[in-house]
A = this chain, B = another copy of it.
Amino acid sequence: MVNNKQVILRDYVTGFPKESDLIFNDATVDLSVPAGSNKVLLKNLFLSCDPYMRIRMSKPDPSTAALALPYTPGQPIYGYGVSRVIDSGHPDYKKGDLLWGIVGWEEYSVINPTSSCFKILHTDVPLSYYTGLLGMAGMTAYSGFYEICTPKKGETVFVSAASGAVGQLVGQLAKIMGCYVVGSAGSNEKVDLLKNKFGFDEAFNYKEEKDLNAALKRCFPEGIDIYFENVGGKMLDAVLLNMKLNGRIAVCGMISQYNLEEQEGVRNLSTVIYKRIRLQGFVVSDYYHKYSNFLELVLPYIREGKITYVEDVAEGLEKGPSALIGLFHGKNVGKQLIVVARE
């Protein structure tokens, strides 16, 4: 038996989460899987902080409970991570394998491998990328952009939360396709990244724009063909006024709304009629069967330096709660992850 530090949800959260909503627990774990079990024992190396995790911290809502299961107060929270197999009773996984998938926020996890658990076969790229660029966030960008946005060369693309885990890649994929790409972010440092590191054509700091509609008109004098929606609320309202005919809005997330007790109203929805706009929500897990196609596309670009990725790395599980909460205040610059253990 060894110690197994865990991050526990104290109770359901209302409004913005606080560090005190997450508490540490010192559990223990047996470093072998019982004979006859087909479970897998993992040593967690990296954990991913993702906006959807906020939704799981709220009290179950009867209208959505079946869709996004809430965390259980008193139990460890969970999310995507990168882990090493320590022991396995499952025929598909053996000691030493590297995996990415859903694990507890703890040093060691015992899992039943599922369809959203992937073996890591390419280790010539940073292993931490499998918490984001080469994991759930990357697949989100890939499936949302290619499957939902139906992009064409030369189209105009707007990405909100553009320096985040998903937005970085959406923008770069859109540039590779030959689109005009603009991103919004919440600091001048992030805007600088968008323009000078990720190759966006334009970018703006939404916190410094008095009028989002005017900012979008400045960046898109002819209007927006594709909006990759990560934030919701006022930004969506401004975007609706600037969409072109037959525009598409891929609704990936609405991080600006997750901590509000009542969501902001979106007032410009009737523009979808005359502009023939398609607004479509999607969830990445519906596209995981295309993961190998995704890797085939993206790995060469990463190796050639045509796709780059910025990570914000918190060292140690102890930093987990502040890193996760920082995400909802835009404190992270790039993909927020936690190093649990360096091998």
Residues on A lying within 8 angstroms of B by beta carbon are 63-64, 67-68, 232, 236, 241-242, 245, 251-254, 257, 262-283, 286
Contact = CB atoms under 8 A, between A and B. Distances in A.
Interface centre among A254, A257, A263, A283 (most CB of B within 10 A): A263
Contacts of A251: 269-270, 272-273
A262 B267 contact: yes
Given A265-B266, A273-B281, 9 more contacts: A68-B274, A232-B269, A251-B269, A263-B269, A265-B265, A272-B280, A273-B282, A276-B286, A279-B279
A209 B199 CA distance: 53
Q: Quickly give the copy total for this chain.
A: 2
A-B pairs, 6 with minimum CB distance: A265-B265, A272-B281, A67-B274, A273-B281, A263-B267, A278-B280
B275 A281 contact: yes
Contact of A268 (B263, B276, B278, B279): B263
A280 B278 CA distance: 4
Contact of A281 (B63, B241, B276): B276
A69 to B, nearest CB: 11
Interface of A is mostly: loop
A242 B62 CA distance: 11
Nearest to A236: B269
Greatest chain B CB density within 10 A among A236, A241, A264, A280 is at A280
A276 B64 CA distance: 12
A241 B283 contact: no
Contacts of A274: 64, 67-68, 281, 283
Nearest to A260: B267
Contacts of A275: 67, 281
6 contacts: A251-B272, A252-B273, A254-B273, A273-B282, A275-B281, A279-B280
Nearest to A252: B273
A105 B114 CA distance: 65
A257 B272 contact: no
A277 B280 contact: yes
A272 B334 CA distance: 26
Contacts of A281: 271-278
A276 B271 CA distance: 21
A254 B283 contact: no
A270 B283 contact: no
A281 B273 CA distance: 4
A109 to B, nearest CB: 25
A271 B245 CA distance: 24
A264 B241 CA distance: 15
Given A67-B274, A273-B254, A265 B262 contact: no
A175 B341 CA distance: 60
